[in-house]
Amino acid sequence: MTSANHRWRRFKNGLMQSVTLTCAILVIAPLVLVFSHLITSGIGAVNWDFFTKLPKPVGETGGGMANAIVGTVVLLGIASLVGVPVGVLGGVYLSEYSFSRLNVWIRFAADVLNGVPSIIWGMVVYALVVLPMKGFSAWAGGIVLGMMMIPLITRTTEEVLQLVPNGYREAALALGIAQWRTIIQIVVRTALKGIATGVLLSLARVAGETAPLLFTALGNSNWNRNLSDPITALPLQIFSYAISPYDDWHRQAWAGALVLLLLITFINVGVRVLTRDRFQQSTR
Partner 1 sequence: MASPGSSTVPEPLATARSLVVRHTGDRVFKGLTLLMAVSVFALIILVGFELWRGSHLALRKFGWRFLFSKDWNPVSEQFGALPFIFGTLVSSLIALLIAVPVSIASAVFLTELAPKWLRQPLIIFIELLAAVPSVILGLWGVFVMVPWLREHLFPRLKSALGFLPLFQGPIYGVSMLAGGIIIAIMIVPIITSVSREILRSVPDLQREAAYALGATRWEVTRIAVLSYAKKGLFGAVILGLGRALGETMAVTMVIGNNPQIAASLFAPGYTLASVIANEFNEATTDLYRSGLFEIGLVLLGVTVIVNAAAQLLLKTLGGLSTKPQQ
Q: By C-beta, is 67 or 72 nearer to partner 1?
A: 72
Task: State yes or no: residue 78 binds partner 1 (CB under 8 A).
Answer: no
Q: Exactly one of 50, 96, 187, 231 binds partner 1 (CB under 8 A); which one?
A: 96
Report which residue type is found at 267: I
Q: How far apart are CA 44 and CA 40, in angstroms?
A: 8
Q: Exactly one of 58, 73, 119, 133 binds partner 1 (CB under 8 A); which one?
A: 119
Q: Exactly one of 43, 58, 73, 109 binds partner 1 (CB under 8 A); which one?
A: 109
Q: How far apart are CA 31 and CA 37, in angstroms?
A: 10
Residue 180, CA distances (Å) to 91, 188, 225, 272 in order: 14, 10, 41, 30
* Residue 216 C-beta: closest distance to partner 1, Å: 11
Q: Hey, which bits of the chain come out as E strands?
A: none
Q: Which stretch binds partner 1 (CB under 8 A): 47-55, 69-77, 147-155, 223-231?
A: 147-155
Subset of residues 178 to 237 that bind partner 1, contact rule: CB under 8 A: 178-181, 183-184, 204-205, 207-211, 214-215, 218, 235
Per the CB < 8 A criterion, the answer to whether 80 and 146 are in contact is yes
Task: State yes or no: residue 21 binds partner 1 (CB under 8 A).
Answer: yes
Angle at 229 between CA 123 and CA 261, to 5 degrees: 70
Q: Which stretch binds partner 1 (CB under 8 A): 26-34, 47-55, 70-78, 189-197?
A: 26-34
Task: State yes or no: residue 269 binds partner 1 (CB under 8 A).
Answer: yes
Subset of residues 31 to 60 that bind partner 1, contact rule: CB under 8 A: 31, 33-34, 37-38, 41
Task: State yes or no: residue 169 binds partner 1 (CB under 8 A).
Answer: no
Q: How far apart are CA 125 and CA 140, in angstroms?
A: 7
Q: Cβ atoms within 10 A of the Cβ of 170, count?
A: 11
